[in-house]
Amino acid sequence: AATTTEERTADVVVVGAGLAGLSAARRLAAAGRSVVVLEARDRVGGRTLNHPLPGGHVADLGGTWIGPTQNAVAALAAELGLATFAQVDDGDAVYYGHGLRTTYPSGGPTGGAPPDPTILPDLVAVLTLIDQMSTEVPVDAPWDADSAEEWDSQTLDSWLRSHTASPQTRKVASGAFEALFGAEAREISLLYALWYVACAGDEQNPGTFERLIAVQGGAQERRFVDGAQSLSLRMAEQLGDRVALSSPVRQITQTADGVRVVRDRLTVSAAHAVVAVPPTLAARISYDPPLPVARDSYTQRSPQGSLLKVEASYDRPFWREDGLSGAVVSDTGPAKICYDVTPADDALGGLLGFVGGDEARTWGGDHEALKAAVVGQFVTFFGPPAATPREVVVQDWPDEIWSRGGPVHLLGPGLLTQAREAIWAPVGRLHWAGTETATYWHGYMDGAITSGRRAADEVLGA
Ligand SMILES: Cc1cc2nc3c(=O)[nH]c(=O)nc-3n(C[C@H](O)[C@H](O)[C@H](O)COP(=O)(O)OP(=O)(O)OC[C@H]3O[C@@H](n4cnc5c(N)ncnc54)[C@H](O)[C@@H]3O)c2cc1C
């Protein structure tokens, strides 16, 4: 009957079957520990999601690209036998600025940025400074940067205002922040932004802003032939009945001997728990005894960004016939950053518009109006054939109760320097995972994977 409560025991219970939780479970299982993974949704993969397209193709509605220095995700893909392919970057990108459409070579001297003379001097100066300052931010302790307090006392926006001359620079930059963070520059601290840049690398290669935004040589370099969710689907397949779907965890009780994790109609007793969910969802679980104030206060103040994807599919990638790469930088929404998301075999055409931050909050309530507006933008950018897509899909991450937004948490002024290790430090038998606890590639699939492994290692070493 629905009211009976089932009891299970395991060495470790993992909460959340995204890339972090599944990576933790995989490492624990490989070390011979018994594991139960409790996932709230009726699917695995969390912030990655495959959407089926005709002919067995898929569209990525969440996490999509991987790139150089994202070593963990590349190695995992190889281990699971998942093929990747290069993101198309040939031809010209479209810049829509000051009400005019122009084109410029993708990957030209300005990187991904449009060669608009009203923004170029600002951009060159600001990006050089950001990269320089980010080298002073330790990836594993951003609060220890010499200027941490000063940088954490201001928003990225207030810093940009005092370091740029042209309002157009901030207008164009807003599109990048809306796609990168699902936020406006006023919502995050300068220190958080610099830490994010510092984390866009590995032990050998310091992070750079360019690597965050570039296609070739950057975080948008490659895609998965079968969609990024296939990483999680494969791991879950291998973990078999260790993964329990439709199992939202409501309560975690910690005693001297172990943890009891309660989900609807099932209780799991274990020696340790790995909680691999975004902080804003970790905050919705009730803990007994209550968590230390530092941890609780951090999760209260760590919202997810607001990011939607609008994907249109066409019979073919017709814009390539006009020498266009499909990439767009626009100073006007709803979509300000767009990409070609055509499947690997070019059997159909795909265009993606990112709708983030204020644009996401404005348009999230009316998906039909949003679809029409973005298709209208595609017509402006790519011409009349864009008016007749086969299908348009809106993926609204803020509207998903088990994500509450994306792509990542937003840390406002004063939080990093105050929360410090509370972001990832274990509390007794509770270990925290998820891309929000990562160092390198914080916010990305790669960071999610390494965070899960780090939490598993904590348990194995305990
Ligand atoms: C639109 C978008 C685009 C992105 N693009 C990229 C990209 O191109 N490249 C890239 O590397 N990254 C990208 N990302 C980020 C990437 O998707 C995430 O960093 C990564 O998937 C996070 O994995 P995770 O395991 O940490 O968290 P999640 O994927 O959020 O997994 C957490 C899991 O926990 C479950 N859960 C939550 N609460 C509970 C509970 N109480 N009980 C049980 N289960 C619970 C959730 O259902 C979820 O399955 C993007 C994200 C978005 C939203």
- Measure the CA–CA gap between 306 and 178, rounded to whole angstroms: 8
- Measure the CA–CA gap between 12 and 270, rounded to whole angstroms: 5
- Structural element, H or E, at residue 422: none
- Measure the CA–CA gap between 210 and 228, rounded to whole angstroms: 23
Ligand 1, residues 47, 311, 432: which to mutate, most atoms within 8 A of Cβ? 47
Task: Quote the ligand 1 centre to 18 CA distance (angstroms).
Answer: 6
The DSSP 8-state label assigned to residue 121 in this structure reads H
ipTM score of complex: 1.00
Task: Quote the ligand 1 centre to 295 CA distance (angstroms).
Answer: 20
Task: Quote the ligand 1 centre to 113 CA distance (angstroms).
Answer: 28
Nearest CA to ligand 1 atom 31: 18
Task: Quote the ligand 1 centre to 162 CA distance (angstroms).
Answer: 34
Task: Quote the ligand 1 centre to 15 CA distance (angstroms).
Answer: 13
HEC string for 250-282: EEEEECCCCEEEEECCEEEEEEEEEECCCHHHH
Nearest CA to ligand 1 atom 21: 47
pTM of the model: 0.98
Q: Are the C-beta atoms of 225 and 85 separated by less than 8 Å?
A: yes
Q: Residues 6 or more apart from 132 whose CB is under 8 A from it?
A: none
Task: Quote the ligand 1 centre to 119 CA distance (angstroms).
Answer: 34
Per-residue pLDDT tens digits of the chain, which is 462 residues long: 455 678 999 999 999 999 999 999 999 999 999 999 999 999 999 999 999 999 999 999 999 999 999 999 999 999 999 999 999 999 999 999 999 999 999 877 677 889 999 999 999 999 999 999 999 999 999 999 999 999 999 999 999 999 999 999 999 999 999 999 999 999 999 999 999 999 999 999 999 999 999 999 999 999 999 999 999 999 999 999 999 999 999 999 999 999 999 988 889 999 999 999 999 999 999 999 999 999 999 999 999 999 999 999 999 999 999 999 999 999 999 999 999 999 999 999 999 999 999 999 999 999 999 999 999 999 999 999 999 999 999 999 999 999 999 999 999 999 999 999 999 999 999 999 999 999 999 999 999 999 999 999 999 998
The DSSP 8-state label assigned to residue 306 in this structure reads -
> Within 6 Å (CB) of ligand 1, which residues are found?
15-21, 38-41, 46-48, 62-65, 248-249, 276-278, 281, 285, 307, 309, 397, 402-403, 406-407, 434-435, 443-446, 448
CA 44 to chain centre: 16
User: Up-side HSE of residue 347: CA atoms within 13 Å toward CB?
Assistant: 11
CA 272 to chain centre: 27
